[in-house]
Amino acid sequence: MTRLSSLRRRGSSVFNRNYWAPAGGDGKVTRASALWSGPAPRWHRWLWLSLAVVVLDFVTKQAILATFRPGEERVVLPFFSLVLAFNPGMAFSFLADASGWQRWFLSGVAIIASVVIVWLLRKGGSRWYCGALALILGGALGNVWDRLMIGQVVDFLLFHWRGWSYPAFNVADSAITIGAVLLILDSFRHRHGESVASAAVKER
């Protein structure tokens, strides 16, 4: 951003390390709950989501680079503009003023993180969990491409209101943020599932 595992039935719930969904009175998991709470498809299928993020991020950045001058802003809505900004650092321009070493350091961190994410995807999990990891992976690769190719990240989405503005960001940043939110929601779902399962066991 730039400033400008085995399945067990417990009571009326289905619970395991990677799966939890509330069940109806007859003990059946509802279709809506199972859709996102159920076991995820084979791990490599999630890489298509990561690839979609990378492609969308690349295409939008190229479009902005082709039509905007650095620092140029075009107001789209009273609270939203398209801009062309460059960020050699991290989110909120952290390390942006470093001497250049941050390009390789941040690229290395992103590559290592991407390898870890792929490893986590191979281990499997719920759809929420795997979807979140895939989004974060795509976002990380989208930004690392910028750093390796041009030495800095291209940002172009700017939200503002009157004198206030949020740091400009891009599609990759959005994917990482959405993925992080999904991971947090997934962790709350698992905590709720564990508490329900524990209560059902105590009732027995």
User: Residues with catalytic annotation?
Assistant: 155, 173
Residue 102 in 3-state DSSP? helix
Is residue 127 packed enough to be buried (19+ CB in 10 Å), middle (13-18) or exposed (0-12)? buried
Residue 29 in 3-state DSSP? strand
b/e per residue 24-51 (b: at least 16 CB within 10 A)? eeeeebeeebbebbbebeebeebeebbe
Distance CA 73, CA 104 (A): 29
Q: How many residues does the chain have?
A: 204
Residue among 106, 195, 65, 88 nearest 152 (CA) = 88
Token pair of 63, please? 């479009």
- Cα angle: 169, vertex 60, 136; to 5 degrees: 55
Residue 132's CB is within 10 A of a number of other CB atoms, namely: 25
DSSP β-bridge partners for residue 87: 153
